Structure 1
Amino acid sequence: MRIDLHAHSHVSDGTEPPAALVASAKTAGLDIVALTDHDQTAGWADAARTALELGIGLVPGMEISCKTAAGISVHLLSYLHDPTHAGLLDEIGKARDARITRARRMVELLAEDYPVDWDMVAHHSAPGATIGRPHIADALVTAGVVRTRTEAFAQVLTARSRYYVGHYAMDPVTAVKLVREAGGVPVFAHPVASARGRVVGEETFDEMIAAGLLGIEIEHRDNPEEGRQYLRELARKHDLIVTGSSDYHGAGKPNRLGENLTSKEMMERIVAAGTGTAPVGLPDLS
């Protein structure tokens, strides 16, 4: 069974509408795909309709932006949570608002040196999507400043550049607790992706596990092999769910659907633990 539990639509920073993303997953030979837009669940309904039409399983999810007290970025995947949970909604609402304010300021700074403006950036986002750095990257590509999103992030939008602006994000321990309260299954996304920036130490892992973290995403292109081995040992020690996934963004990144997969046994554990919302059209996991 082919299961990919990390993919983004244009509701956040992917390039495909939710329905098209599900269709792409079917074409890629997946049996189950998770929709995990950043701080958003607006794509769930369209994705669910298409999943039922095409006969592919859908795991409704979300990727939550977090930050430790030391300023280290953490991404937390939440599967099968209640999308109406008040506490979680309040926190992700703050994060979305902060993203927009941050994006506007970054565009102002970039406009001092490059031929980009807010209208150009907004053109690259879907209606209702939260504009962020990927959309700014797309505008830089259109303006001919860089060739790809990847190049934009490496050369212009890096956290070390003068154009970078931080934004509000909740503490990962708080996020884990809220996801559990919402009946969701919290999984630490690409935890040792050092090429993206600083990664957390063992203390943060311990704090998140104590708060109710249920899984870690190990098979991900941005986790180096030595880091994956550390994560495998951590998973064994704490009996954590282990996932593998693509982190697909459509045409926005080189990641391909199904390039890393989650086992059927781990999918069973996620379904058993998630009580906030139901998966859609899952094949028989027994």
Structure 2
Amino acid sequence: MRFDMHTHTVVSDGTDTPTQLAQKVAAAGLGGFALTDHDTTDGWAAASTAAKQLGLVFIPGMELTCTTDNGISVHVLSYLHDPYHEGLLTEIEQSRRSRQERAIRMVERLNEDYPIQWSDVEEQCAPGATIGRPHIADALVAAGIIHDRSEAFVELLHPRSRYYVSHYSPDPVHGVELIRQAGGVPVFAHPMASKRGRVVPAEVFHDMIDAGLAGVEVYHRDNPPAGREYLLKLAADHDLIVTGSSDYHGYGKPNELGENSVGLEVVERIDELGLLDVHYPVTR
């Protein structure tokens, strides 16, 4: 069996509901998946129910948004943590509020040059979802300004764009510490994705490892070959879990479910470390 360890739904910035995602995982011939919506666990219940009905393994997860002191964006996947842990929840809520405020300011800047309003962005969100750059991208697509999300992130919504606005998120070392305090298994998502922006220097990797980093997402379409080689050596030197994923978002991005995946041994290793349990089908 193969497992996709990084997926998103409409609960954050994907285009499928948790139930639809589970159905697509089954249709792709995968044995299971981790749901890792950005800074929220609200999709866990629906995804778990659908996975059970379809005989899939379900790994509860989340993607924690972090930022270094010098402004480098870092995403840390958290598997099997306590979704009610007060310290982690406090950081998540502060980050979510800041992200929405940032989105409003970005739309205001874009409106100076393009016919886009905040109401256009709200139309692209599921109820309760935190509005972020992907939803702005969807509004730009709907308005005919760009062709797809990918184009938006190349220019208009890129960190170097004049429309870009930063937002609060915890330092990645603190993020790893919080995930560990919540009983979770922290894995550095797409660490060498240089086309997304700057990647962290070696000292940040080592600080995160010292704080309790458990793994690195090596097999991801945005990690170039040289970056994968670096990550594999880092994992070997520090006994880190090596994961792979699609980072699937639905029709908003070209990523396909299962384009990168892991075997059961990786899921079992994560299961051993996490506070919560992986949800295996009753037939296992």
Q: Which residue of 2 aligns with 1:98?
A: 98
Q: Which residue of 1 aligns with 2:209?
A: 209
Distance 1:148 1:34 in 2: 25
SS at match of 1:89: helix
Report Cα offsets for 1:133-169 as digits up to 9, x if no partner: 0000000001111000001111211111111000001
Q: Which residue of 1 aligns with 2:241?
A: 241
Q: Which residue of 2 aligns with 1:109?
A: 109
- Give the CA deviation at 1:272: 0.4
- Give the CA deviation at 1:282: 4.8
Q: Which residue of 1 aligns with 2:35?
A: 35
Please say which of residues 37-46 and 261-270 is displaced more in the overlay. 261-270
Q: Which residue of 2 aligns with 1:47?
A: 47
Distance 1:183 1:281 in 2: 19
Q: Count residues with an aligned counterpart.
A: 284
Q: Which residue of 2 aligns with 1:8?
A: 8
- Give the CA deviation at 1:278: 2.2
CA contact 2:3–2:33 (8 Å) conserved in 1? yes
Distance 2:54 2:89 in 1: 30
Q: 1:158 to 1:46 in 2, by over 3 A?
A: same
SS at match of 1:69: coil
TM-score by length of 2: 0.98
Distance 1:18 1:121 in 2: 21
SS at match of 1:252: coil
Alignment-mate amino acid for residue 22 of structure 1:
A
- Give the CA deviation at 1:264: 1.9
Q: Which residue of 1 aligns with 2:190?
A: 190
Mind listing any 5+ residue stretches in structure 2 that lack a counterpart?
A: none
Q: 1:282 to 1:194 in 2, by over 3 A?
A: farther
CA contact 1:133–1:157 (8 Å) conserved in 2? yes
Q: Which residue of 1 aligns with 2:165?
A: 165
- Give the CA deviation at 1:267: 1.4
Q: Which residue of 1 aligns with 2:126?
A: 126
TM-score by length of 1: 0.97
Report Cα offsets for 1:171-228 as digits up to 9, x if no partner: 0111111111111000000000000000011100110000000000000000000010
Distance 2:107 2:145 in 1: 14
Q: Which residue of 1 aligns with 2:278?
A: 279
Alignment-mate amino acid for residue 237 of structure 2:
K
Distance 2:282 2:259 in 1: 20
- Give the CA deviation at 1:70: 1.5
Distance 1:123 1:67 in 2: 28
Distance 2:66 2:239 in 1: 24
CA contact 1:32–1:282 (8 Å) conserved in 2? no
Q: 1:201 to 1:284 in 2, by over 3 A?
A: farther
Q: Which residue of 2 aligns with 1:219?
A: 219
Q: 1:178 to 1:284 in 2, by over 3 A?
A: farther
CA RMSD of superposed structures (Å): 1.1
SS at match of 1:75: strand
4+ residue runs over 4 A deviation: 282-285
Mind listing any 5+ residue stretches in structure 1 that lack a counterpart?
A: none
Alignment-mate amino acid for residue 90 of structure 1:
T
1:267 paired with 2:267, answer: yes
